[in-house]
Amino acid sequence: MPEAQAPNVAGTVPDVPRHVAIIMDGNGRWAAARGLPRVEGHRRGVEALRRTVRAAGEMGIRCLTIFSFSSENWQRPASEVRDLMGLLRLFIRKDLAELHSNGVCVRVIGERDNLDPDIRRLLDEAEQLTCGNANLLLVVAFNYGARDEIARAVRRIARDVASGAVQPEGITEEMIGQHLDAPDIADPDLIIRTSGEQRLSNFLLWQAAYSELVFSPVYWPDFDRATLEAAIEEYRRRERRFGGLAAKTGS
């Protein structure tokens, strides 16, 4: 699909946000609460992801971005990193055909250079296979960190400055946005974080400038259509001003 979405008009909140981004948190605590190994929480997290992708498509959400492995997640024990990589392999191998037949377009953001070659290949294949689909754009943030994304963008612009193609005075917010990992995708309208934690943890820092943030107490493996609808209900109650004035009251 990749569609450049027009930002919502200040003060109006459409029934369903076009772009929802999710920090899927709480897999480990979900498992610990049940005396299960952490990997079981991640496995059940993949099931929650399947449910959520399905629900998002049915509800008319155009773009769903998920934080599935952060650049900081490498600091976890090697066995857990292996488990998470294994789950990504499994998710793509097992679910790609179904995602494709449901018209889901998969895009990946994050640093790919230091990933295992087979994972890089799987991510490339998923993007190539599904790039013509238009029902739902699923953006997988994998080996992703927002500061890393911004640093990579700045390095690219710095090269253009060094070559003389760009003057320092010519660097604009738009130019920085154009050098991020998915410049054609509009900023998220709504960012949901599960598990009760209330921070962005290096997720979409540039793109989150005007996003509404909703924090759900639910651990990610328990997330489902009802929790997604509840978050969207909260989003609907918000009034987005984008730095301007309120639409109705002018205050």
The residues that are catalytic are 25, 73
The residue (of 13 and 39) whose beta carbon lies closer to ligand FPP is: 39
Q: Residue 200, Cα to own-chain centre: how many angstroms?
A: 11
Which residues in 24-63 contact ligand FPP (CB under 6 A)?
24-29, 42, 45-46, 49
Q: Taking contact as CB under 6 A, which single stretch among the options 67-75, 174-182, 184-192, 225-233 is the one that binds ligand FPP? A: 67-75
Among residues 68, 130, 133, 216, the one that binds ligand FPP under rule CB under 6 A: 68
Asked if 84 is part of the footprint of ligand FPP (rule: CB under 6 A), the reply reads yes
Indicate the SS3 state at residue 128.
helix
Indicate the SS3 state at residue 232.
helix
Token digits for 153? 């963008």
Nearest distance from residue 24's CB to ligand FPP, in Å?
4
Residues 21/65, Cβ–Cβ less than 8 Å: yes
Helices (H), the chain: 27-32, 38-59, 78-101, 117-130, 146-162, 173-178, 225-237
Asked if 109 is part of the footprint of ligand FPP (rule: CB under 6 A), the reply reads no
Name the residue with the smallest CB distance to ligand FPP: 28
The residue (of 42 and 179) whose beta carbon lies closer to ligand FPP is: 42
Which residues in 141-180 contact ligand FPP (CB under 6 A)?
none
Instruction: Residue 140: name the closest of 63, 38, 79 by CA.
Output: 63
Helix pair 225-237, 38-59: axis angle to 10 deg? 60
Locate tokens 């604009």: which residue?
172
Token digits for 212? 């509404």
The residue (of 89 and 236) whose beta carbon lies closer to ligand FPP is: 89
Asked if 110 is part of the footprint of ligand FPP (rule: CB under 6 A), the reply reads no
Asked if 88 is part of the footprint of ligand FPP (rule: CB under 6 A), the reply reads yes
The residue (of 50 and 236) whose beta carbon lies closer to ligand FPP is: 50
The residue (of 91 and 235) whose beta carbon lies closer to ligand FPP is: 91
How many C-beta atoms lie closer than 10 Å to residue 156's C-beta? Answer: 13
Beta sheet of 190-193, edge-to-edge order? 104-109, 136-144, 63-70, 19-23, 190-193, 212-215
Asked if 201 is part of the footprint of ligand FPP (rule: CB under 6 A), the reply reads no
Q: Taking contact as CB under 6 A, which single stretch among the options 22-30, 122-130, 184-192, 239-247 is the one that binds ligand FPP? A: 22-30
Residues at the contact surface with ligand FPP, assessed by CB under 6 A: 24-29, 42, 45-46, 49, 68-69, 73, 84, 87-88, 91, 195, 220
